Amino acid sequence: MGGTREARELADIVSGERGFEIVSSLAGRVREPVLPVGEVRVGGFGGVDGLREWLSGNGVEAVVDATHPFAGAITANAAAAALALGLPVLHLRRPAWQQRDGDHWVRVPDLAGAAKALTGMGDRVFLTIGRQGVAAFAESDAWFLIRAIDPPDGARPARHELLLARGPFTLTDETALLTDRRIEVMVTKDSGGALTEAKLEAARALALPVVVIDRPALPEGALSVETVAAAWDWLRGLR
Ligand code: NAP
């Protein structure tokens, strides 16, 4: 289950190994996705039942949920479908970002919490949560710089600029963007990983506050690892 850099890295490793066959699954959210090597299927399965049928119909022997830390629905479905079929399932979650000296973070549990927290924090907001969830900020009076790979669906704040861009982003570019747009506060998911971390470094350097949305919890009892190497060890251990 993919849609992340880690999933592509794992597909790279596994597809080169004798005795393993891998199929990567993408949701189909991004118009021009970066594809992993090997076999790829695209689109939803139709809930837990659809996923269960697909897994058994395709002779799948193990599931690695390497989806984004905020893709909570497919993670829950992967866990439930694998459990129903008695298949081993592993969740690969990159480590969360850690607050450092000089950071001014406000942690919130979800999108609604982020929209609420913004009140009084500044009029010019850098909203860097991807294209999903922008509607949670639609009622805000603030001005937003919204950055995403593809345009967001649904409602947007009345005053905004849409910037379509795909990471990775450099510290120099992020600092220039924040300065140029006179950003006063940033909103991000706690996605983790190096690809989009430069925005946090830029905010630190400019002493900007950052509203950080916490990750949804993994399903209860879920087996999880933080690195591609550990996921590969787990897969090899199944043989
Ligand atoms: P989600 O809310 O957990 O999933 C919603 C529905 O989309 C799922 O129930 C499933 O539909 C389908 N789906 C999601 N991931 C899928 C996959 N890898 N393969 C097949 N179907 C999938 O997921 P999301 O947050 O929309 O994320 C969608 C994809 O984008 C994921 O693959 C994720 O890794 C990637 N991504 C997400 C984010 C983010 O911030 N959420 C960021 C970067 C990349 P059915 O119920 O019909 O099976």
Q: Give the pLDDT confidence of 19-61 residue by residue, as tens digits.
A: 899 999 999 988 889 999 999 999 999 999 999 999 999 999 9
CA separation for the pair 169, 100 (Å, rounded): 20
| Residues 142, 147, 148, 153, Cα dihedral to 10° | 20
pTM, to two decimals: 0.93
Mean pLDDT of the chain: 96
Q: Which helix (H) or strand (E) holds 164?
A: strand 159-164
Cα dihedral 179, 180, 184, 188 sign: negative
* Nearest of 236, 235, 233 to residue 63 by alpha carbon: 235
Residue nearest to ligand 1 atom 24, measured at CA: 71
CA separation for the pair 112, 232 (Å, rounded): 36
Q: Which of 35, 67, 191, 214 to mutate to test the pocket of ligand 1 (most atoms within 8 A of CB)?
A: 67
pLDDT of residue 195: 85
1 lines ligand 1 (CB under 6 A): yes
| Contact between residue 5 and residue 166 where contact means Cβ atoms under 8 Å apart | no
pLDDT digits (tens, 9 = 90+) for 191-228: 999 888 999 999 999 999 999 999 999 999 999 999 99
Ligand 1 mean position, distance from CA 66 (Å): 11
SS3 48: helix
pLDDT digits (tens, 9 = 90+) for 148-184: 999 998 999 999 999 999 999 999 999 999 999 999 9
| pLDDT band at 239; cut points 50, 70, 90 | confident
Q: Which of 8, 10, 74 to mutate to test the pocket of ligand 1 (most atoms within 8 A of CB)?
A: 74
47 lines ligand 1 (CB under 6 A): yes
